[in-house]
Amino acid sequence: MQNELQIWQLVMEASWLVKGVMALLLAASVASWMVIFRKRQILAKAGKAADTFEERFWSGTDLTQLHEGITGAHRITRGMERIFDAGFAEFLRMREQSRMSPNAMVEGSQRAMRIALTRETEDLEHHLNFLATVGSTSPYVGLFGTVWGIMTSFHQLANVNQATIAMVAPGISEALVATAMGLFAAIPAVIGYNRFSYQVDRLEVRYDNFKEEFSSILQRQAHALSGE
């Protein structure tokens, strides 16, 4: 309890610039933790949704019925459902057009799925750049506050005849709190960014594999419809 009181006292006795740096780092830390908890929920939900959809897709359900079940729910699709919906909707649209070759039908579906995959990846990566920014800049922001605090402490010795370490120790201690807060904000942000980037990459690979497998199924259906 005494240590906490001393740290709070050091913060309150710091210069206004150092206090501003500490406030900025505290705000960045709170915001990054909010992003971490939210992103963790989103990625966990995306993984479970992919498992559920793959189980339905490979269970032998008719693709038309599966598509109608998704579109009939009147909800925003995400993940594999989004890719499947985009590809199969384009496939049905081009199938209704006359004189459309099987290859053209499949290529149109693949383009639609690539666009859906790109948008899905962008949604999953949303706010990851914020974690990267906090993780890379917070130590330098804290160091700036520390350097400024140390400069202020030594500048105060200019009017003193005899300087001692006891005279500058409090100011240096106050300044070092800024460095500690910079590390406190940066470390969780870096860990969260690395972990979530890995999860996003795995989901992207999983979505891309599904896109290729679904393209093969559509290609077989297209050639069957054309009688080839």
Structurally, the chain folds into a number of domains equal to 1
Full domain range(s) for residue 90: 15-226
Q: What average pLDDT does this structure show over 132-142?
A: 93
Does any domain span residue 92?
A: yes
Percent of the chain surpassing pLDDT 70: 80
pLDDT in tens, 78-127: 889 999 999 999 998 888 876 778 888 889 999 999 999 999 999 999 99
Does any domain span residue 215?
A: yes
d(CA 210, CA 13): 59
Q: What is the pTM of this model?
A: 0.81
pLDDT in tens, 170-211: 666 677 778 888 999 999 999 999 999 999 999 999 999 999
Does any domain span residue 217?
A: yes
pLDDT at 149: 76
Does any domain span residue 8?
A: no
Does any domain span residue 7?
A: no
Does any domain span residue 61?
A: yes
Does any domain span residue 80?
A: yes
CA 62, 67, 72, 75 dihedral sign is: positive
Tell whether the model's pLDDT for residue 15 goes beyond 70. no
Does any domain span residue 56?
A: yes
